[in-house]
Amino acid sequence: MPDNDKTKQVQALLRPAQLLILIAAILAGILVAQFLTPTVFRASPSDLDRNGYLLDVLASPNHHPEYVVLGNSIAMQGIDTRLLSKDIPGHPLGYNLSSTGQGLTEANMFFTALPDSVETVIHLFYVNQLQGVLVIDEQKLNAMQMFGYRMDQDLKNELIRIYGFNTDELLNQSSAQKAFKSRWALRQASDTLIRDLVRTDRDFDSLRTELYFPSPKSPRLSGKKLRKSYVDTFSKMNKPEFLIYYQGTEHLDSFIKQVKASGRNYIMVVAPLNPAGNEFIPADKLLKATEAITKITQKNDVLLINAIQLLDEKDFFDALHPSVDGAGILTRYIAEQINANAKRYDLKIGNGGEQ
Amino acid sequence: MLFYTPEFLAFSILLLGMLGIFHKSEPRKLILLITSYIFYMWWNPAFILLIIFSTVVDFLIGGRMSDETNKAKRRLLLIASISSNIGMLIFFKYAGLFGDSLLGIMRMMGYEPSWVSLNIILPVGISFYTFQTMSYTIDIYRKEIKATRSRIDFALFVAFFPQLVAGPIVRAAVFLPQLDRGIKISCDQTTFFLIMRGLAKKVLIADNLAIFIDPVFSSPGNWPSVIIWMATIAFAIQIYCDFSGYSDIAIGIARILGFTLPRNFNHPYSARNPSDFWQRWHISLSSWLRDYLYISLGGNRGSAFATYRNLMLTMLIGGLWHGASWNFVLWGLLHGSLLVIHRLYTRMRKKANPEWRAGNDWGTYLISLALMQYFVLLTWIPFRLTGFDAMQVTMRKFVVFDFNFDLTSIGLGNIAFFSTLSLMLIFTVFTIISRRTGHIENYLGQLSTQSAAGVCFVSGIVFYYFWPLSQAPFIYFQF
């Protein structure tokens, strides 16, 4: 198999005008791609598609939820709003707007996009979120922009106040800059498309478009896989730098105040933790985190539903996420707590506690 | 200053503008020399002194050696040149390694030395330009070339910016005569697309593969064999595209300035045996090691044992050339062993049948190709992983396959699995096509301006979407 270079070397020199045409053609390609990026981004499947879908729902005149659930994948798999509505008097319409890795800033952004029909925000808060010192992952921020979200100046100012450092630089990027940084969409699309085909064990459509219980209903892990899930997850949480940062508590406090100032009720649910994690995370760390959360909710006089120790190990399908049975237990517990405390906190959800 | 940064674009425009003002050869050479120094100083201005030192020493020694007829004195001059270059290389590149190793040994023996680890910054490109200047004095000593009398020509030979920091390593016999022809600026369409090809290899393939490779090799124990295999193959492609991409750009830029640089790669992953591989991989270094080290050690002129010893020594030093780390020594040792085993095998077969030659049919071709590339992949593991534990785990998972194909438990979302697989497939298809039909830039060079502009337009779109969000510097800069 010898090398076989059959082509002839062309030595014709490029005239300056020809060279300029070639360079201009490259630049034209770049400009066209930049112009098309928002459209390409929306058309390309990715794990952030749910955010785009939720923003579309919130902007649509056809959706009038009375309450919404915000939170990360634990909320996606842990709270079934159909079940919750059934257990609350008046059976209000509730949407589960949680999304994968939804942090405080993302939840805050969804809150500012809520329609007027929403009277109550149920916020499932994962204790680890108190460790956040970054305002938001840049890719997520760009994705929200590509999906049409525009952050108002008040929220920008508040986030800059809380997170400081380079937050203003990040939040005040031009649309062109954000589009440029969202150009990874095509690569992501190829991964997402093929993964969705191969991973038949997961319901990815539900993850993107389900408004009540976005759980992919994954089968419970067992044996080595479950153990690996524990080690991977809890070891990360139990880093020596597990600290409660000012940014985490300050943003939580600010978020609650924003919800209250909009005339809505805020309900905090502290996400359940898998008891298997006790082996990895010292109890004093969790106690410190829940105390900080309690302090903030008490200060703002909002309902705190502490579900941190609600579930048994068998109620989780992996280290973090409740199984369908676990979700049932958590959802019913939230309904019970809402019903029991409706009058005390003057909750509008569920007829204010009237049967 | 990396070739694909806005600074380099500004640098090139400025250089071409200045060269355009002057039409005589000498001022153009001077401008090219000064801009080459500026290019180098962009990383660390102080290290330009090392290049100037190496230039002055070898220019003076070369000139003196050329005039000298006394063999002993010529030998002394050669020793002085080699000592200054190797001394500089040892100090800046290997002092830390040897110091740390000595420190470790002393601690193992129960002594606690009073000195601490050396922390010496490695000057970029030092391994390339010291080898280049050494070849100049060795060639003069061997009377293969005559010393140049032009200081500027010699300084430009040492510091010519397109290949200064990562090669190809150019011989004086190849470069200096080109300077006599003067610097003529011109660009043909083939050269234009050669630079584009180099850029595409670097940013579209190598940098995109890094997104998959880095997380896998940062914790190899977490991944099954199938992912370790994929990461190893991806690394083989990454390092090839990274380095040969740089070489393509360097050759293209040199061509625009009127210089022809030697080819550095020739489809290395189609090599069928170890010596074939080294005639295809980093050709300018392997031929340097062959001509100046292996042959100087005696080559294959002595006994069989001496030949094997020379091969092992050459590859060990070749490994160490890549970096001050024991994993590169292991890499060199493995390649040296492969060369020795291959020689032994060939010798044994020829002893049994003097007419024996490796078969050229498809079956033999594929078996020898697969076997050779298996070992090439295996040797990339110590090249990529510096930590002994990680290296050992990776090699074990590579050799002893665990047959775990459960895609649900390997965190595919974190490692861009499928897009990496697609990239590897695209690379393979392009390689097979270019091997059978010739390099793509030769075809593109023949297109009409309109068609070429169309290709550029599409390339602009592809570059935009697949240029990674963060770039890494060229891997071979560290050597």
| Mean pLDDT of the region B257-279 | 93
CB contacts of A186 in chain B (<8 Å) are 465-466
Are the beta carbons of A181 and B469 separated by less than 8 Å? yes
Are the beta carbons of A181 and B463 separated by less than 8 Å? no
**How does pLDDT run across A275-298, given as a tens digit for each residue?**
887 777 777 777 888 888 999 999
Q: Which of B270, B457, B465 sits opposite A186 (nearest CB)?
A: B465
The whole-angstrom distance between A354's CA and the closest CA on chain B is 46
Is pLDDT at A7 greater than 50 in this prediction?
A: no
pLDDT band for position A351 (50/70/90)? low
Between the alpha carbon of residue B243 and those of residues A32, A105, A192, B205, B260, the distances in Å are 30, 42, 30, 12, 18
Is pLDDT at A93 greater than 90 in this prediction?
A: yes
Would you call A240 helix, strand, or coil by DSSP?
coil
Question: Which residue has better confidence, A245 or B270?
Answer: B270
Q: Which of A6, A30, A184 sits opposite B438 (nearest CB)?
A: A6
Question: Which residue has better confidence, B356 or B161?
Answer: B161
The whole-angstrom distance between B328's CA and the closest CA on chain A is 30
CB contacts of A187 in chain B (<8 Å) are 208, 416, 419, 465-466
Omega within 30 of 0 (cis) for the link into B123: no
**How does pLDDT run across B399-436, given as a tens digit for each residue?**
999 887 776 655 555 667 888 888 899 999 988 888 88
Question: Which residue has better confidence, A5 or A229?
Answer: A229
- Cα Rg of chain B (Å, integer): 24
Is pLDDT at A306 greater than 90 in this prediction?
A: yes
Q: Which residue of B has its CA nearest to A225?
A: B409
Is pLDDT at A33 greater than 90 in this prediction?
A: yes
| Mean pLDDT of the region B344-372 | 87
CB contacts of B270 in chain A (<8 Å) are 1
| Mean pLDDT of the region B15-42 | 91
**How does pLDDT run across B77-126, given as a tens digit for each residue?**
999 999 999 998 888 877 766 777 777 777 777 777 665 555 666 777 88
B394 alpha-carbon distance from chain centroid: 24
The whole-angstrom distance between B33's CA and the closest CA on chain A is 25
**How does pLDDT run across B174-216, given as a tens digit for each residue?**
999 999 888 888 889 999 999 999 999 999 999 999 988 998 9
Q: Which residue of B has its CA nearest to A3?
A: B435
Q: What is the pLDDT of residue A6?
A: 42
Domains of chain A: 16-353 (3.40.50.1110)
Count of CB pairs separated by less than 8 Å, A with B: 135
pLDDT band for position A5 (50/70/90)? very low
Is pLDDT at B54 greater than 90 in this prediction?
A: yes
CB contacts of A195 in chain B (<8 Å) are 412-413, 417-418
Are the beta carbons of A13 and B436 separated by less than 8 Å? no
Q: What is the pLDDT of residue B434?
A: 86
The whole-angstrom distance between A177's CA and the closest CA on chain B is 12
CB contacts of B463 in chain A (<8 Å) are 26, 29-30
- Transcribe B405-432 into DSSP letters: --GGGS-GGGTTHHHHHHHHHHHHHHHH
pLDDT band for position A94 (50/70/90)? very high
Are the beta carbons of A190 and B419 separated by less than 8 Å? yes
Q: Are B335 and B381 in contact (CB under 8 A)?
A: no
Between the alpha carbon of residue A67 and those of residues A90, A316, B211, the distances in Å are 12, 26, 40
Q: Which of A5, A13, A33 sits opposite B438 (nearest CB)?
A: A5
Mean of per-residue pLDDT scores for chain A? 85
| Mean pLDDT of the region B373-393 | 93
Q: What is the pLDDT of residue A54?
A: 96
Among A82-91, A228-237, B172-181, the least confident range: A228-237
CB contacts of A219 in chain B (<8 Å) are none
pLDDT band for position A243 (50/70/90)? low
CB contacts of A181 in chain B (<8 Å) are 469
Is pLDDT at A235 greater than 90 in this prediction?
A: no
Closest CA to B300 of B286, B285, B318, B314: B314
Are the beta carbons of B459 and A19 separated by less than 8 Å? no
Neighbours of B144 (CB within 10 A): 13
Is pLDDT at B477 greater than 80 in this prediction?
A: no
| Mean pLDDT of the region A66-77 | 94
Q: Which residue of B has its CA nearest to A16?
A: B187
Q: What is the pLDDT of residue B162?
A: 93
Using CA of residue A49, residue A52, residue A58, residue A60, what is the dihedral sign? negative
What distance in Å separates the CA atoms of residue A137 and residue A101, rounded to the nearest whole number?
10
Is pLDDT at A264 greater than 80 in this prediction?
A: yes
pLDDT band for position A4 (50/70/90)? very low
What distance in Å separates the CA atoms of residue A150 and residue A55, rounded to the nearest whole number?
11
Are the beta carbons of B413 and A47 separated by less than 8 Å? yes
Enumerate residues 6+ apart whose C-beta is below 8 A from B177.
Answer: none
Closest CA to A345 of A256, A253, A280: A256
Are the beta carbons of B187 and A19 separated by less than 8 Å? yes
CB contacts of A183 in chain B (<8 Å) are 464-465, 467, 469
Q: Which of B188, B407, B438 sits opposite A13 (nearest CB)?
A: B188
B73-101: b (≥16 Cβ within 10 Å) or e: ebeebbebbbebbeebbeebbbebbebee
The whole-angstrom distance between B468's CA and the closest CA on chain A is 7
Best probe of the B interface among A177, A191, A192, A221, by most B CBs < 10 A, is A191
pLDDT band for position B314 (50/70/90)? very high
Domain map of chain B by residue range?
Answer: 6-180, 189-272+358-478
Is pLDDT at A314 greater than 50 in this prediction?
A: yes
- Cα Rg of chain A (Å, integer): 24
**How does pLDDT run across A13-31, given as a tens digit for each residue?**
888 889 999 999 999 999 9
Closest CA to B40 of B150, B179, B160: B160
Using CA of residue A156, residue A159, residue A164, residue A169, what is the dihedral sign? negative
Residues of B with catalytic roles: 322
pLDDT winner (highest mean) among A339-348, B7-16, B228-237: B228-237
What distance in Å separates the CA atoms of residue A57 and residue A50, rounded to the nearest whole number?
10
Q: Which residue in the block uniquely carries the two structure tokens 């937050």?
A: A167
What distance in Å separates the CA atoms of residue B289 and residue B321, rounded to the nearest whole number?
10
Question: Which residue has better confidence, A196 or A73?
Answer: A73
The whole-angstrom distance between B237's CA and the closest CA on chain A is 18
Q: What is the pLDDT of residue B415?
A: 65
- Transcribe A158-205 into DSSP letters: HHHHHH-TTHHHHHT--HHHHHHHTTTHHHHHHHHHHHHHH-TTS-HH
Q: What is the pLDDT of residue B399?
A: 94
Q: Three-state SS string across B151-175, please?
A: HHHHHHHHHCHHHHCCCCCCCHHHH
Best probe of the B interface among A15, A184, A235, by most B CBs < 10 A, is A184
Question: Which residue has better confidence, B97 or A105?
Answer: A105
Mean of per-residue pLDDT scores for chain B? 88
pLDDT band for position A188 (50/70/90)? confident
